[in-house]
Amino acid sequence: MNNQPHVAIVGATGAVGREMLICLSERNFPLSKLTLLASVRSAGQKLTFRGEEITIQELSADSFEEIDIALFSAGGGISEKFGPVAAEAGCVVIDNSSAFRMDPAVPLVVPEINPDAAAIHPRNIIANPNCSTIITLMGLAPLHRAFGLKGIIASTYQAVSGSGAQGIAELENQVQALASGAPIEKQIYPHQIAHNVIPHVDAFQDSGYTKEEQKMLHEGRKILGLPDLKVTCTCVRVPVMRSHSISLTAIFEKDPSVAEAQAVFANSPGIKLVDDPASALYPVPLDTTGQDDCLVGRIRKDQVLPNAIALWVVGDQVKKGAALNAVQIAELL
């Protein structure tokens, strides 16, 4: 790869696309040029990057001729249609959708966990995992390396940013409507999200689990290289703007003590231990908002299962759950 690549963001006006601009800037990503692509609705508008205004262009099949790396975050349909077009034009696609994640020829990468997987990408596509899966595995991978992960029981508390800019707008609008007595409008979620929680993220499957819940199983197995990993997950949308929290029971081969489990986070990149409940110190979503690092705490012995630890992991969905992870993958290239 050219060490000053020409980078494109597909979906540059979205919640994740805008955060990608911030991550590229904050990390001094070495690029020769940045191209911003979105729908015809945004074409001609400008976004600022490193003090310069860049005009947004309409995405088309011809957008990728001169691009080296394309960061896709415009939804699964756009990835399915334009990802292979970009890849055939010689560009490496880093895709934020679920379109290619389970393709055996497409690596699924969290740079702190399986960076080597990014090196082999025969389709010219590398997939960014599901946001809840990334944040969960940031908390579990250090424990897995020390104690051997066998199974996970997870409940997620997922921010509205996971539904993109429209999810954020829906919560903001409903909070304002409640304050002013105006009628509540619902477009994105099947129920009011303000003052509520909704145990329904993505479509229900015949199994009774949602697609989002099954992503934790299938993507977790692929990223950790654990084909027999057992996962039960309940995904819940909560009225939080942009950080996901995950309550976990993790079952291991070995039987770690609480102190041993806490100790593995001392030198784990991208994740910090915040675990002093007596001082009310534990991760909360507002503390990770806008932050690169995920936080882990509430580490204790599970009282039901042997060799099991209960823990609580929190991370910024827009950052480590999406934009930052994609930019870190680009850095690996």
The residues annotated with a catalytic role in the active site are 131, 244
67 sits near ligand A2P (criterion: CB under 6 A): no
Distance CA 219, CA 131 (A): 11
Distance CA 214, CA 145 (A): 23
For residues 86 and 118, which CB has a smaller minimum distance to ligand A2P in the complex?
Answer: 86
- Amino acid symbol at 92: V
Number of residues that bind ligand A2P (CB under 6 A): 17
- Least Å distance, CB 27 to ligand A2P, is 21
- Least Å distance, CB 63 to ligand A2P, is 9
Phi-psi region of 254 (alpha: psi -120 to 50; beta: other; left: phi over 0): beta
Neighbour count for residue 44 (Cβ, 10 Å): 10
For residues 59 and 125, which CB has a smaller minimum distance to ligand A2P in the complex?
Answer: 59
For residues 75 and 115, which CB has a smaller minimum distance to ligand A2P in the complex?
Answer: 75
Both tokens of 230, joined, read: 């057992």
Q: Which range of residues in 5-13, 169-177, 182-190, 245-253 is near ligand A2P by CB under 6 A?
A: 5-13
Q: Are 200 and 156 in contact (CB under 8 A)?
A: no
- Least Å distance, CB 45 to ligand A2P, is 8
For residues 42 and 210, which CB has a smaller minimum distance to ligand A2P in the complex?
Answer: 42
78 sits near ligand A2P (criterion: CB under 6 A): yes
For residues 21 and 309, which CB has a smaller minimum distance to ligand A2P in the complex?
Answer: 21
DSSP sequence for 16-64: HHHHHHHHHHHTT---SEEEEEE-TTTTT-EEEETTEEEE-EE--TTTT
DSSP sequence for 276-310: BGGGTBS--HHHHTT-SSEEEEEEEE-SSSTTEEE
Q: Which of residues 140-199 bind ligand A2P (CB under 6 A)?
A: 164-166
Residue of minimal Cβ distance to ligand A2P: 14
- Rounded to the nearest 10°, the torsion over CA 143, 269, 14, 74 is -60
DSSP sequence for 222-260: HHHT-TT-EEEEEEEE-S-SSEEEEEEEEEESS---HHH
Contacts of 278 (CB under 8 A, 6+ apart): none
59 sits near ligand A2P (criterion: CB under 6 A): yes
74 sits near ligand A2P (criterion: CB under 6 A): yes
- Least Å distance, CB 105 to ligand A2P, is 25
For residues 165 and 198, which CB has a smaller minimum distance to ligand A2P in the complex?
Answer: 165
46 sits near ligand A2P (criterion: CB under 6 A): no
Among 5, 11, 111, 162, binds ligand A2P (CB under 6 A): 11
- Least Å distance, CB 44 to ligand A2P, is 11
Among 6, 22, 25, 39, binds ligand A2P (CB under 6 A): 39
Q: State the residues that interact with ligand A2P by CB under 6 A.
A: 11-15, 17, 38-39, 41-42, 59, 74-75, 78, 164-166
